[in-house]
Structure 1
Amino acid sequence: MGLKLLPIFFLLIVNFCFAQSDTSLTPIDTFESNIDIYEENGVFHFKPVLRPLVQIPGGRAPYYKYLWDFGDGHFSTQPEPSHQYAKPGQYEVSVYAVNNYDYGPKPKRPKKPVNNKHSNTAIASIHPNNFEQNFFNSNGIFQIYKLSDAKPGEDMQLVLGVNTGGQKGKVYILSNEKIAGLNGFKLAHQSKYYQEKIDTILKNDHLQSMWATIKQSTFTKTGSPDYGIKEISEFSSSQQAVDYFKNLYGAYNSLSAYDIDPQVSDHQFSLLNLDVTEDMLVDTNAIVTITGVFIPENGLANVHQVDIPVVKSHDPNKMSVRPARMSYRFQSKNKTLTYKVQFQNDGEGDARQVRLEMFLPPEVRKETFRLKSLYPQCDTCATPSSMGCYQYYIKDNGALVFHFKDIALPGTASKTLTDPDSSKGFILFEVDMEKKKFRNKSFQSYTDIYFDKNPAITTNISTSRFRQIWSPIVTIGTAATFGTPKENTLQHQFKPGIQLGFGLAPMAPYKKPFWQVEIYTSYYSRTSTTGRQDDKGVISFQENGRDVKYEYQASDSTINRDFLSVQLPVQIRYNISSLLSIGAGVALRKDYNVKYSNTKNFYYASAQGTEENVYTQENINMEKENSPIKYNPFLDINIGRVYMGPAIGFRLSYDKNQKSYSGIYGIWRF
């Protein structure tokens, strides 16, 4: 009965493993975007004409975030900026806009020519540019600004700024972290307003010789707004500097560079357009980083890193996690997750109380909460009655609560608000996971955000998962046959031998079917006997030195064969729990006859006819018996550490020759 159900069970598992893929096309804006321009006393005023925003039903008021490129190496984030050109000439102004809380597609980037007929002017004396003045908040020398988060299928803009200090140097851009395993960013275009010499061929020996000249490196990090993180590393030897930058560069897959010449300008801003590939969809709601390195002639390097959440939509209220994907193979060590919860007040007045109730997976040790950075900046509450401070605690329902008390976070609907970014806040923190107590599955988190006494705003679900890597498998075991199968007059008996094999499967999938392929060899013996049966004939042999002939009345035979079996099992498995796994599949099998012998007994009466004698002959018409390729369906079960480590396996197979046979084996997944 079990054998009849085997094909049905196999088909059910096959059908269970199929899943529909959900693909979506990035919507395209069909609105004719434009820029209105008018000039007044040599100052140009710009106003964007973009697709009207569409509010999500029941959602918050949408708005645009802007990055203006004036075509001369200067930029602004004001909605309707003014700009004065330093030199006469033809320029092309354009505006990049990101639609927040919006139901429609990303607007097209409008461009428009500008003809400045006025003579040379001093830009700083009229309409100072706040964006450029406040650009170098982190370290005063080198920084990266991101216009938006990374939405797969769209492009995003970065502005790299360098305060040269009279030093020549080189800027390096590192992207596509190896830990993410995807090439999510592609450099589409870079501006050349300051005669940047873009280096497309970077040689490793040249890099190391340059690293060896670095005496000090200042590390800063931002994520809109500034994290306030600043670390200075001094190198006592050239090898120490080489090791530092080799590890930094080795964490990324993509590297580009350009030269800086201070004779062009002291402050230089370069615009980078990055395409966010659809591959990034797998890491939506994760945090990835892009790192910039400025190495000047004086050997005092600056490393700036910007955190970029990967998003499905541009929503200022969100939760992100890093790393998005981890290695399960090293799960015996404690894992540290870095979370960022960002929020924005979209009301008219200031938010006085902001409470974040974070629901983290049970595998996270909430008591290990470590705050890395926050905005608005405030101190911890010394007492429950403290003002303008923060406190955190764990609620009875398991939520980790972070509470900003008596602050003043302005709202986007305020009539006096000039910068929408000033209405944003965030917390950046780390937590540890339980050691050895988590399964190879995704870990999901989300946050309920409360502004004063308003209802909760629930963020996206932030997911951290294990990387899809392969697990090598080693097996050793033996097999035995049920009963004694018959083939015509032959009755077969099988003696088990050693089985040694190797396999490959995904690393410890959790609650989903997966494929596993193996190859193994086994050695077994088969003894085939024909019982005594009436059989008359004449045999000739020597007896006492002379040839004799006897008539025999009966005979039997025994054939001994040793086989080397090569099998290629392919199966679909399912981990029921961390201790139990089942599978079903088909093995391609071929048996090679490596040793064989045949004996036949003849039963005859003596010359006096008073007793029965036996004469035995060996190797009568004996040939090899290599089998054709066979297909053996089987069921399989593993008990033990089925995710990773040792376990015991039981396999029930069917073969038309051996009929039903089973094996027991030890298996170790690495």
Structure 2
Amino acid sequence: MKTPWIITLFFLLSTSLAHAQQDSNLIQVDTFESKIDVQQLPNGVSFKPILRPLVQVPGGRAPYYKYLWDFGDGHFSTQAEPVHQYAKPGEYEVSLYAVNNYDDGPKPKRPTRKIKNTAPPSALASIHANGFEQNFFASNGIFQIFKLSDAKPGEDIALLIGVQTAGKKGKIYLLSNEKAAGLDGFKYAHQTAYYHENMDTLVATNNLQGLWANVKQSTFTKTGSPDYGIKEVSTFQNQQQAISYFKDLYGAYNSLTSYEIEPAQGDQQFSLVNLDVTADMLVDTNAIVTITGVFIPEDGLANVHQVDIPVVKSHDPNKMSIRPARMNYRFQKKRKTMTYKVQFQNDGEGDAKNVRLEMRIPDEIVKNTFKLKALYPQCDSCETNDSRGCYRYYLKDDGTLVFHFKDIALPGTAAKDITDMDSTKGFILFEVETQKKLKNKSFNAYTNIYFDNNPPIKTNTATTRFLRTLSPFVTLGASHTFGTPQENNLRHKFKTGYQIGIGIAPTAPYRKPYWQVELYTSYFKRESESPRREEKGEHSYLVDGKQDYFTYNAIREEEKRDYITIQVPIQLRYNFNALFSMGAGASIRKDFNTKSSGQTTYYFQRDAASGIVDLTYTDPKELSSTNSKIKINPFLDLNVGSVNLGPALGLRFAYDKAQQWNGGIYGIFRF
């Protein structure tokens, strides 16, 4: 039988395979010689950066640098040209961490410079040296993490960890690489040691329960850029509550590092930690990941601070991010909460009075589940009595979600009196829920940002993808052979066979061909017979214990065999919709003959008083096992029912040289 339609289907499925192309991470190198200009002043030391000139993207917004100065004595500043007063004379190594925003060039090299401070000891240096340190602990007054930039793959990210010791010893833990993100994107690179910090990168979580048990209360705060204003206090009634709280918190991350805090080293301590951002992060350059810091002092009043870090391809403050960026499809049994963040920046000279965010949210999101979590600039809803400096949100007829900051005053980066670039930024952080049933495909969102009457700025596309997971399944079914195949002189009749098997395939690919591999065993019986054929000969038999002979003129043979079959079907499948899928492939098969019996019937004639009589004699026949060779059987497979997870009914038609065409029906359940 010719089967061109099976071959055609298999070819079409094969040629439609898509090969994902990974983003190339071509990192530009700055060849400019970055320097730090230093000038000794009566009231301190003045620092000025000499960095590569910024390159404006054609038609883009004005680029600028964001700075973090490390003065070499445990103090830091984010000013462009700071003046710092040292507490003691001596030699210090100053470093500058700079991030180029809206820039079309490479990241600037990090300049360092050793300086000699000749000014006499100053008591004024014990006071906060700048507004950055004065306002550092805005979230909880005790413990906080500052990020200089978002996470760009191939670069590093600088985190400044600050703590007010209040005379208490303790430990600080840094948790990174969330398990939910599915990759280890951050690698520990370096930490300053101005307060004799000694980073332990091999912390064993199992040894921490005794420390957790002593915690009486934990204060949780969260920031992004700028502060979210989120603060939650958890009081533990017993040790088990505290252990469970921190076990769940630590268990959400793959990486854990720590260092000890000694109050004798200073009431206020800042430590700069560098993390390398690996190229693996390129797959999620619209995701929001978190890094969590935990400060557990000896009095058991802990502080947990979490900082949101968007993963970016470029340092563009106008951005839309999503969390989680990747989900496991196998656990989509109910609505999933998604967190979106839209951040923006006014790059004009004057204040932006109205900022309108028009968000194109995908159909997978139930838009009326919108729940605002945090925003900046801080203002009330326009539904209140005081409608000046407020916000409102609504849905347009085309499904666009609009969030409007009305009558605010967001300063611009080009204003002459701007000293803090973060004050020119705003954001909204909100949650929405997905539909209960989702297709295993990515879904996208983006935002058009309108500053007053200016043309819109379109953000990146925030994409949620499903993780590539495998779904195991079990099958149970029956098969039957069509017709009576013939082999030599034997005609075979196959009894209905029964099968049980297991398999594995990608979880519910959406409109993409995918491979499926199975392993199953089946049991069936075969009855064979040869038609009566003319053949002459003699055959012995016993009569009253004596051997006699008769002459036969025809014979017929019969066989019965039981088989157990091991098969490994491999097929290429395609889901046409949620209820119907098709596949084509081949099965590697071997049949094992477990039981066999046979007989030969002889036909002969004898004279009788009334004439010649036809007689038969049946003799058992010994048969040897006939295990098959390894065979390759092509087949076509159909599934009706849930092609994602759950039950379905399958039909399979296969061709075997011995059985020829056979078909089966089976039940399948995907986990």
TM-score class, shorter-chain normalisation, is over 0.9
Paired amino acid for 1:226: D
CA shift digits 1:199-256 (9 cap, x unpaired): 3443445411111111111100000100000111111111111111111111111100
Give 2:337's aligned residue. 336
Distance 1:242 1:458 in 2: 45
- How many angstroms does 1:43 deviate by? 2.1
**Are 2:466 and 1:428 equivalent residues in the alignment?**
no
**Are 2:109 and 1:108 equivalent residues in the alignment?**
yes
Distance 1:331 1:201 in 2: 35
Paired amino acid for 1:301: A
Paired amino acid for 2:651: F
Q: CA, structure 1 residues 602+97, in 2 after alignment: closer, same or farther (shift >3 Å)?
A: same
Give 2:638's aligned residue. 637
Distance 2:276 2:299 in 1: 34
Q: CA, structure 1 residues 403+651, in 2 after alignment: closer, same or farther (shift >3 Å)?
A: same
Give 1:299's aligned residue. 300
Give 2:456's aligned residue. 456
Give 1:613's aligned residue. 615
CA shift digits 1:517-560 (9 cap, x unpaired): 11100001112221111111111112455432222111111111
SS of match in other structure, 2:430: strand
Give 1:39's aligned residue. 40
Paired amino acid for 2:196: Q
Which structure 2 residues correspond to residues 561-600 of structure 1 after superposition, within 5 A?
561-600=561-600
Distance 2:60 2:353 in 1: 22
Paired amino acid for 1:299: G
Which structure 2 residues correspond to residues 118-129 of structure 1 after superposition, within 5 A?
118-124=119-125, 128-129=129-130
Paired amino acid for 2:624: E
SS of match in other structure, 1:498: strand
- How many angstroms does 1:306 deviate by? 0.3
Distance 2:149 2:2 in 1: 59
Does the 8 Å contact 2:218/2:234 carry over to 1? yes
CA shift digits 1:252-305 (9 cap, x unpaired): 111000011111111100001001112222222011110000011111110000
- How many angstroms does 1:590 deviate by? 0.9
Which structure 2 residues correspond to residues 21-40 of structure 1 after superposition, within 5 A?
21-24=21-24, 25-40=26-41
Does the 8 Å contact 1:82/1:127 carry over to 2? no
- How many angstroms does 1:405 deviate by? 0.5
Does the 8 Å contact 2:69/2:76 carry over to 1? yes
Does the 8 Å contact 1:176/1:254 carry over to 2? yes
Does the 8 Å contact 1:3/1:654 carry over to 2? no
Q: CA, structure 1 residues 454+613, in 2 after alignment: closer, same or farther (shift >3 Å)?
A: same
Paired amino acid for 1:617: D
SS of match in other structure, 1:199: coil
- How many angstroms does 1:67 deviate by? 1.1
Give 2:496's aligned residue. 496
Q: CA, structure 1 residues 132+384, in 2 after alignment: closer, same or farther (shift >3 Å)?
A: closer
**Are 2:181 and 1:190 equivalent residues in the alignment?**
no
Distance 1:123 1:6 in 2: 85
Paired amino acid for 2:547: D
Distance 2:285 2:416 in 1: 34
Give 2:392's aligned residue. 391
| Identity rate, percent | 62
Distance 2:127 2:503 in 1: 72
- How many angstroms does 1:86 deviate by? 1.6
When structure 1 is superposed on structure 2, of 386-395 and 485-494 the one drifting more is 485-494
SS of match in other structure, 2:592: strand
Paired amino acid for 1:188: A
Which structure 2 residues correspond to residues 76-95 of structure 1 after superposition, within 5 A?
76-95=77-96
When structure 1 is superposed on structure 2, of 415-424 and 203-212 the one drifting more is 203-212
Does the 8 Å contact 1:84/1:126 carry over to 2? no
Paired amino acid for 2:542: Q
Q: CA, structure 1 residues 378+23, in 2 after alignment: closer, same or farther (shift >3 Å)?
A: closer
Distance 1:214 1:16 in 2: 57
Does the 8 Å contact 1:519/1:567 carry over to 2? yes
Q: CA, structure 1 residues 558+205, in 2 after alignment: closer, same or farther (shift >3 Å)?
A: closer
When structure 1 is superposed on structure 2, of 22-31 and 1-10 the one drifting more is 1-10
Which structure 2 residues correspond to residues 183-262 of structure 1 after superposition, within 5 A?
183-204=184-205, 206-262=207-263
Which structure 2 residues correspond to residues 532-571 of structure 1 after superposition, within 5 A?
532-543=532-543, 545-571=545-571
- How many angstroms does 1:385 deviate by? 9.4
CA shift digits 1:140-188 (9 cap, x unpaired): 0000000111111211110000011111111000111111121111111
Does the 8 Å contact 2:87/2:126 carry over to 1? no
When structure 1 is superposed on structure 2, of 356-365 and 600-609 the one drifting more is 600-609
TM normalised by structure 2 equals 0.96
Does the 8 Å contact 1:538/1:552 carry over to 2? yes
Q: CA RMSD in A?
A: 1.8
Does the 8 Å contact 1:632/1:655 carry over to 2? yes
Q: CA, structure 1 residues 118+385, in 2 after alignment: closer, same or farther (shift >3 Å)?
A: closer
- How many angstroms does 1:666 deviate by? 0.4
**Are 2:599 and 1:603 equivalent residues in the alignment?**
no
CA shift digits 1:432-451 (9 cap, x unpaired): 1122x211221211111111
Paired amino acid for 1:506: P
Distance 2:384 2:208 in 1: 53
Paired amino acid for 2:499: Q
Give 1:438's aligned residue. 438
Paired amino acid for 1:573: R
When structure 1 is superposed on structure 2, of 195-204 and 317-326 the one drifting more is 195-204
- How many angstroms does 1:571 deviate by? 1.8
Give 1:326's aligned residue. 327
Give 2:407's aligned residue. 406
Paired amino acid for 1:612: D
CA shift digits 1:572-614 (9 cap, x unpaired): 2221111111222221111100011111111111234612111
SS of match in other structure, 1:148: coil
SS of match in other structure, 1:607: strand
- How many angstroms does 1:124 deviate by? 4.0
Does the 8 Å contact 1:6/1:633 carry over to 2? no
Distance 2:127 2:625 in 1: 99
Q: Unmatched 5+ residue regions in structure 1?
A: none
Paired amino acid for 1:509: P
Give 2:280's aligned residue. 279
Q: CA, structure 1 residues 545+80, in 2 after alignment: closer, same or farther (shift >3 Å)?
A: same
When structure 1 is superposed on structure 2, of 597-606 and 224-233 the one drifting more is 597-606
SS of match in other structure, 1:439: coil
- How many angstroms does 1:66 deviate by? 1.1
**Are 2:517 and 1:517 equivalent residues in the alignment?**
yes
Distance 1:517 1:122 in 2: 74
CA shift digits 1:66-115 (9 cap, x unpaired): 11111111111111212122222221111111111112221111111112
Give 1:474's aligned residue. 474
Distance 1:647 1:91 in 2: 71
- How many angstroms does 1:57 deviate by? 2.0
Distance 2:585 2:214 in 1: 60
Distance 1:285 1:253 in 2: 21
Q: CA, structure 1 residues 29+652, in 2 after alignment: closer, same or farther (shift >3 Å)?
A: farther
SS of match in other structure, 1:563: strand
When structure 1 is superposed on structure 2, of 653-662 and 421-430 the one drifting more is 653-662
When structure 1 is superposed on structure 2, of 133-142 and 174-183 the one drifting more is 174-183
Does the 8 Å contact 2:23/2:282 carry over to 1? no
Paired amino acid for 1:377: Q
Give 1:170's aligned residue. 171
Distance 2:652 2:117 in 1: 82
Distance 1:651 1:627 in 2: 22
Does the 8 Å contact 2:337/2:431 carry over to 1? yes
When structure 1 is superposed on structure 2, of 518-527 and 47-56 the one drifting more is 47-56
Aligned residue-pair number: 668
Distance 2:385 2:236 in 1: 45
Distance 2:52 2:607 in 1: 117
- How many angstroms does 1:198 deviate by? 2.3
- How many angstroms does 1:13 deviate by? 2.5
- How many angstroms does 1:379 deviate by? 0.3
Distance 1:309 1:340 in 2: 9
Give 2:362's aligned residue. 361
SS of match in other structure, 2:81: coil
CA shift digits 1:338-357 (9 cap, x unpaired): 11110111111111111111
